């Protein structure tokens, strides 16, 4: 699993940063990828990356400000025009369904693949055998959410040597044993796979914040997460201005990660006033409080 930042700017694109979009590559767990926000120009960024539109399973929208959704109609229609038939589920606040359907209708566009649109509120919005996704309400001028992605614990490593020692040879049922299931072997023996597994492998937890001023929901959203992605729109000296517009400063993002006992913080959503040469100064403000901080730039890739 890895995070690829397709856009890391706030509000408007700049020469160095496109507006917000993040791809979560799930390969190693499943074959597809998920997208978080889809600002204007996201499909252009995808063309310059390893993300495959046909492998997109889900799109999660934090809120309906333009720098987070104006790329959606173009991405969806291009995906359709390229003959992709695999469906997508789109999650977002109330109004996302109207936005997408109206954009397609007024532009005379249509889709050749199934699109399920789920308008979300706070709480669990998705769960399967691999992941659980929970939405947390944030503090912003419009309804906005952050997403906590929790990978379920995975079965421990199968002790193949011990199986062989017990006279159980590799075969078609080994995959079931690796999952800890009880199977009946071809010779009639009933084997409990869980007896041959090592300790369970703890699943990873990722917290992706939408735009927000400091908020009470942060402690639960980011609690002990392996990776937290949080906006740092403005520097510490401009904290009052940031908060007044529903945003956070560098210091506030770092303080949140420290208080939540997160393992790693990645800051993004930086104002277009900041150039590449400002990066180290902004990053230093965070690292003075939470040393395990990195800054995302467009096309930055972070393994999880």
Instruction: Point out the catalytic residue in the list 37, 67, 187, 259.
Output: 67
CA pair distance 289, 298, nearest whole angstrom? 24
Radius of gyration from C-alpha coordinates of the chain: 22
The sign one gets for the Cα dihedral 229, 248, 122, 90 is negative
- Does the annotation place 44 within a ligand binding site? no
The burial class, CB within 10 Å (0-12 / 13-18 / 19+), for 154 is middle
Number of CB atoms found within 10 A of residue 109's CB: 14
What is d(CA 10, CA 271) in angstroms, rounded to the nearest whole number?
Answer: 5
CA-CA distance, 70 to 103, in Å (whole number)?
A: 10
68 marked as binding residue: yes
Q: Are 192 and 182 in contact (CB under 8 A)?
A: yes
- Does residue 140 have a known ligand-binding role? yes
The verdict on whether residue 297 carries a ligand-binding annotation is no
Please check if 128 is assigned to a binding site.
no
226 is catalytic: no
Q: Both tokens of residue 104?
A: 């397609």
Residue 255 φ then ψ, to 5°: -65, -40
Would the annotation count 211 as a binding residue?
Answer: yes
Q: Which residues are annotated as catalytic?
A: 67
Q: Give the residue ranges of the annotated binding site.
A: 63, 65, 67-68, 140, 211, 269
Q: Give the residue ranges of the annotated binding site for Zn(2+).
A: 63, 65, 67-68, 140, 211, 269
């Amino acid at each position: 699993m890895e995070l690829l930042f397709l856009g890391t700017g706030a509000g408007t694109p700049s020469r160095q940063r496109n507006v917000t979009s993040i791809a979560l590559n799930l390969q190693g767990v499943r074959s597809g990828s998920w997208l978080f926000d889809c600002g204007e120009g996201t499909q252009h960024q995808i063309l310059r990356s390893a993300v495959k539109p046909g492998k997109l399973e889900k799109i999660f929208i934090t809120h309906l400000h333009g720098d987070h959704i104006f790329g959606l109609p173009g991405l969806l229609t291009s995906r359709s025009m390229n003959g992709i038939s695999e469906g997508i589920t789109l999650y977002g606040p109330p109004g996302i369904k109207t936005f997408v359907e109206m954009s397609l209708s007024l532009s005379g566009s249509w889709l050749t693949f199934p699109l399920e649109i789920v308008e979300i509120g706070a709480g669990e919005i998705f769960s399967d055998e691999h992941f659980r996704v929970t939405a947390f309400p944030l503090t912003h001028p419009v309804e906005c959410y952050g997403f906590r992605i929790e990978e379920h614990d995975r079965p421990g490593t199968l002790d193949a040597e011990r199986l062989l020692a017990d006279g159980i040879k590799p075969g078609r049922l080994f995959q079931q044993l690796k999952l800890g299931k009880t199977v009946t072997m071809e010779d009639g023996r009933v084997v409990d796979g869980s007896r041959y597994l090592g300790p369970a492998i703890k699943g990873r937890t990722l917290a992706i914040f939408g735009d927000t001023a400091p908020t009470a929901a942060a402690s639960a959203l980011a609690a002990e997460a392996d990776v937290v992605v949080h906006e740092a729109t403005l520097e510490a000296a401009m904290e009052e201005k940031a908060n007044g517009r529903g945003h956070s400063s560098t210091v506030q993002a770092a303080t949140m990660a420290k208080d939540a006992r997160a393992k790693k913080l990645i800051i993004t959503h930086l104002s277009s006033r900041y150039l590449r040469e400002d990066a180290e100064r902004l990053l230093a403000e965070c690292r003075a409080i939470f040393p395990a901080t990195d800054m995302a730039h467009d096309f930055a890739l972070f393994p999880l």
